[in-house]
């Protein structure tokens, strides 16, 4: 066991980790930030996506020790301190981009990374970018609509 620390959502935080402790487990169990979900635990589903030093990563596929000293952003830091949802979260609510909500933290964090890279993505770019985020409920259309809306674009999407 060793003590590691990172800046999570702007706050310096530390906790105990073993060599094998995953970043997802560290965030959830050591820091109590259970908004980051663990769906598959095999790097496939994207429910656990967080940002490390600005890049989207699957936190179940990264050791906590690798994030020692890093800046980490999780879903808990997306809304304003008073609880006001950010544009992506508000659009997910408005356009029914979630049903059970299990995939949503990862979807929102991936969408945030996408909009930083491509501020006005096309529908195809959104679908491609989210290829590592699985949703078992929505059928994706409303997620794509929400991201179109969050980026200030017309929400009409082709029903493939």
Partner 1 sequence: MYAFDFERPSTVADAVAALSAEDAQALSGGQTLIPTLKQRLASPSKLVSLGGIAELQGITSDGDAVTIGAGTTHAAVAADGSIPALSALAGNIGDPAVRNRGTIGGSLANNDPAACYPSAALGLGATIVTNAREIVADDFFQGLFTTALDEGEIITAVRFPKPQAANYQKFEQPASRFALVGVFVAKGADGVRVAVTGASEDGVFRWSEAEAALGSNFSAGALDGMAPPADGMISDLHGSAAYRANLVGVMTRRAVAAAG
Ligand X SMILES: Cc1cc2nc3c(=O)[nH]c(=O)nc-3n(C[C@H](O)[C@H](O)[C@H](O)COP(=O)(O)OP(=O)(O)OC[C@H]3O[C@@H](n4cnc5c(N)ncnc54)[C@H](O)[C@@H]3O)c2cc1C
Which residues inside 116-155 make contact with ligand X, applying CB under 6 A? 132
Interaction of residue 113 with ligand FES, rule CB under 6 A: no
Q: Mask: binding to ligand FES, 114-153, rule CB under 6 A, as x and -?
A: ---------------------xxxx---------------
User: 29 contacts which partner out of ligand X, ligand FES, partner 1, none, CB within 5 to 8 A by kind?
Assistant: none
Stretch that binds ligand FES, among 64-72, 86-94, 98-106, 108-116 (CB under 6 A): 98-106
| Near partner 1 in 119-138, by CB under 8 A | 129-133
Say which residues have a Cβ less than 8 Å from residue 81's Cβ, sequence separation at least 6.
none
Cβ atoms of residues 67 and 23 within 8 Å? yes
The answer to whether the CB of 34 falls within 8 A of the CB of 57 is no
Which of left, alpha, beta for 96 (phi over 0: left; psi -120 to 50: alpha)? left
Helices (H), the chain: 23-25, 87-94, 104-117, 123-129, 141-150
Q: Site residues (CB under 6 A) for ligand X?
A: 43-44, 132
């Amino acid at each position: 066991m060793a003590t590691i620390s990172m800046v999570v959502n702007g706050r310096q935080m530390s906790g105990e980790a073993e060599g094998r402790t995953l970043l997802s487990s560290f965030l959830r169990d050591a820091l109590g930030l259970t908004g980051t979900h663990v769906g598959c635990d095999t790097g496939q589903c994207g429910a656990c996506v967080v940002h490390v030093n600005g890049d989207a990563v699957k936190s179940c596929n990264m050791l906590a020790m690798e994030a020692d000293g890093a800046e980490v952003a999780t879903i808990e830091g997306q809304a304003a301190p008073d609880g006001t949802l950010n544009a992506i979260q508000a659009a997910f609510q408005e356009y029914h981009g979630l049903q059970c909500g299990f995939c949503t933290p990862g979807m929102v964090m991936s969408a945030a990374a996408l909009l930083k890279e491509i501020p006005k993505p096309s529908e195809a770019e959104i679908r491609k970018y989210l290829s590592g985020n699985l949703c078992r409920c929505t059928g994706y259309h409303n997620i794509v609509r929400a991201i179109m809306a969050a980026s200030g674009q017309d929400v009409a999407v082709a029903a493939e």
